[in-house]
């Protein structure tokens, strides 16, 4: 029986197609972590925008794009600093739209979400801004619906723990006052109709929201993609994670490349190497929850800060295990800080409990971190890295056979770990956390 403590290692997906809707909804949990204390923002926006879209009688494909755009609308946000500023009620700062452009540019690189990227680009564009005329009317309306729902949620968040029924009318008046200017008249009309029901506001509560949104996603026509295509989406999420700090640039992509290389040299089949590459791309998803100041701290972390860091592997596991084809990938990514001695985290797995791909991923993670610059040191050379890996083996932290595999292909491993930019950095602080 699977528990929250012990990850499963089998893969129940097999070959075949994967529903992109399910994947996006699960991975959006990572985006919700950025706010740290303000979670589920994307899901609340998706629910509200979806309810408005239903009343506007959007076509099936348009409504599906609306929901995906809503859960992904803050795809260009990875820092807690920017997330906090976007929760300002007036959005007065000059670069308030830059994250929309950044998120759209990333999503546009994944063909199945090309239309969704256009909607994301518009989600901070007022209705009376000529920029919306650059897109077709339906896409512009979808973007404005996301904008409206986003701003409504900011109003909701600003009320703290107050019962939403106590301030719902104030929010409705606020939206009505911006009809035809900030928001499209049709969007405002749909919102006022949907939000007249108490159920609309009560569904925003966490325990109701997840169920409502999953039901909505399940009702949509599946968007089939295969595991190979899904690697492209994983790459985008890796860039969001690595963009959280200047010290994490290219870390996930380099770890993925090195892990897949080690997998191939260890004799894993091509499909397993592909999954290992995705695990490498997504292994640090949980770090989106870590406050910027903790991730970038150049001095030793205190106990509370270290505890925050230690959560990230478990958060990664929980996010990925929500996608059925990712069960195996979740187990590998969630175990990248486990040690053979059982003194790793977050599950305290030991020895044979840690699958080989997870062991290789752990080695790739440590190797790549040593190969990058730190605030307190220059990048280490290949031989010095190998020496440190071997000391980790002696301490029961890393798999000895995997490290000797590195030794046998040291130059190739070093190239894989440093291929993006030799001078890029990754944050670990002086604590040795990688």
E strand or H helix that includes residue 18: strand 18-19
State the average pLDDT over residues 267-281: 96
Other Cβ atoms within 10 Å of 401 Cβ, number: 12
Asked if the model's pLDDT at residue 170 lies above 50, the reply is: yes
Res 427: pLDDT = 30
Instruction: Report how far apart, in Å, the C-alpha atoms of 262 and of each of 276, 357, 361, 402, 406 are.
Output: 10, 9, 8, 8, 7
Comparison of pLDDT for 112 and 300, the residue scoring more:
112
Res 7: pLDDT = 41
Q: Under a CB-based contact definition with an 8 Å cutoff, are residues 112 and 143 in contact? A: no
Res 305: pLDDT = 86
Q: Under a CB-based contact definition with an 8 Å cutoff, are residues 315 and 286 in contact? A: yes
For 14-67, the pLDDT digits (tens) are 345 688 988 888 888 888 777 556 678 899 999 999 999 999 999 999 999 999
Res 375: pLDDT = 64
Least confident of 77-86, 318-327, 352-361, 372-381: 77-86
**What are the residues whose beta carbons fall under 8 Å from the beta carbon of 390, sequence distance 6 or more?**
403
Q: Under a CB-based contact definition with an 8 Å cutoff, are residues 392 and 434 in contact? A: no
> What is the residue extent of each domain of the chain?
18-224, 227-431
For 88-127, the pLDDT digits (tens) are 555 544 456 788 898 999 999 999 999 999 999 999 999 9
Report the C-alpha gap between 387 and 409 in whole angstroms. 14
Asked if the model's pLDDT at residue 173 lies above 80, the reply is: yes
User: What are the structure tokens assigned to 88, written together?
Assistant: 């300002």
Question: What confidence category does residue 403 fall into, taking pLDDT thresholds of 50, 70 and 90?
Answer: very high
Res 85: pLDDT = 57
Comparison of pLDDT for 16 and 333, the residue scoring more:
333
* CATH of 18-224 among 1.10.8.60, 1.10.3720.10, 1.10.3210.10, 3.20.20.70: 1.10.3210.10
Other Cβ atoms within 10 Å of 101 Cβ, number: 14
What angle, rounded to 10 degrees, do the helices at 41-55 and 185-194 form? Answer: 100
Mean pLDDT across the chain: 86
Report the C-alpha gap between 17 and 253 in whole angstroms. 24
Other Cβ atoms within 10 Å of 73 Cβ, number: 32
3-state secondary structure of 78: coil
Least confident of 51-65, 79-93, 269-283: 79-93
Instruction: Report how far apart, in Å, the C-alpha atoms of 217 and of each of 71, 144, 194, 210 are.
Output: 11, 21, 19, 11
Enumerate the β-bridge partners of residue 373. 425
Compute and round to an integer the Cα radius of gyration of the chain: 22
Least confident of 30-34, 79-83, 172-176, 212-216: 79-83
Q: Under a CB-based contact definition with an 8 Å cutoff, are residues 402 and 336 in contact? A: no
Complete DSSP assignment for 383-399? HHHHHHHHHHHHTTSS-
User: What are the structure tokens assigned to 370, written together?
Assistant: 């040593």
3-state secondary structure of 377: strand
Complete DSSP assignment for 304-319? HHHHHHHHHHHHHHHH
Report the C-alpha gap between 83 and 290 in whole angstroms. 13
71-85, 229-243, 249-263 — most confident range: 249-263
Distance of CA 177 to the CA centre of its chain: 35
User: One fold for both 18-224 and 227-431?
Assistant: yes
Report the C-alpha gap between 190 and 195 in whole angstroms. 8
| Range 269-295 burial, b when 16+ CB lie within 10 A, else e | eeebbbbbbbbbbbbbbbbbbbbbebb
User: What are the structure tokens assigned to 63, written together?
Assistant: 């409504």
CATH topology of domain 227-431: Hypothetical protein af1432 (1.10.3210)
Report the C-alpha gap between 247 and 285 in whole angstroms. 15
Determine the length of the chain. 434
Comparison of pLDDT for 360 and 10, the residue scoring more:
360
- Nearest CA to 40 out of 74, 79, 11, 8 is that of 74
Q: Under a CB-based contact definition with an 8 Å cutoff, are residues 353 and 407 in contact? A: no
For 418-433, the pLDDT digits (tens) are 986 443 333 322 223 2
């Amino acid at each position: 029986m699977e528990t929250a403590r012990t990850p499963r290692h089998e893969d129940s997906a097999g070959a075949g197609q994967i529903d992109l809707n399910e994947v996006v909804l699960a991975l959006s949990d990572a985006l919700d972590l950025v706010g740290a204390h303000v979670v589920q923002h994307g899901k609340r926006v998706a629910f509200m925008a979806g309810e408005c879209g239903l009343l506007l009688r959007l076509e099936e494909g348009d409504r599906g794009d609306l929901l995906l755009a809503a859960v992904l609308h803050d795809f260009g946000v990875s820092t807690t600093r920017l997330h906090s500023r976007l929760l300002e009620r007036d959005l007065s700062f000059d670069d308030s739209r830059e994250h929309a452009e950044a998120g759209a540019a990333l999503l546009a690189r994944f063909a199945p979400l090309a239309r969704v990227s256009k909607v994301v680009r518009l989600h901070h564009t007022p209705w009376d801004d000529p920029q919306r005329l650059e897109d077709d009317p339906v896409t512009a309306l979808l973007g404005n619906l996301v904008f409206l729902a986003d701003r409504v949620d900011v109003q909701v968040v600003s009320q703290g723990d107050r019962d939403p029924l106590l301030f719902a009318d104030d929010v409705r008046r606020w939206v009505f006052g911006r009809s035809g200017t900030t928001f499209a008249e049709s969007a405002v009309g749909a919102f006022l109709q949907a939000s007249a029901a108490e159920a609309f506001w009560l569904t925003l509560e966490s325990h109701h929201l997840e169920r409502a949104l999953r039901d909505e996603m399940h009702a949509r026509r599946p968007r089939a993609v295969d595991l190979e295509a899904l690697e492209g989406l994983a790459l985008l999420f890796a860039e969001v994670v690595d963009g959280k700090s200047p010290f994490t640039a290219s870390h996930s992509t380099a770890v993925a490349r090195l892990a897949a290389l080690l997998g191939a040299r260890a004799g894993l089949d091509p499909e397993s190497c592909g999954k290992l590459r995705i695990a490498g791309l997504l292994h640090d998803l949980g770090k989106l929850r870590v406050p910027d100041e903790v991730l970038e701290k150049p001095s030793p972390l205190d106990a509370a800060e270290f505890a925050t860091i230690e959560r990230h592997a478990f958060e990664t596991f929980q996010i990925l295990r929500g996608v059925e084809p990712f069960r195996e990938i979740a187990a590998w990514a969630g175990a990248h800080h486990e040690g053979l001695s059982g003194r790793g985290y977050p599950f305290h797995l030991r020895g044979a409990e840690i699958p080989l791909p997870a062991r290789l991923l752990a080695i790739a993670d440590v190797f790549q971190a040593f190969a990058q610059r730190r605030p307190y040191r220059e990048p280490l050379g290949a031989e010095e890295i190998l020496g440190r890996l071997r000391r980790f083996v002696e301490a029961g932290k890393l798999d000895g056979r995997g490290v000797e595999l590195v030794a046998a292909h040291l130059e190739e491993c070093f190239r894989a770990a440093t291929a993006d930019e030799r001078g890029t950095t990754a944050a670990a602080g002086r604590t040795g956390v990688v």
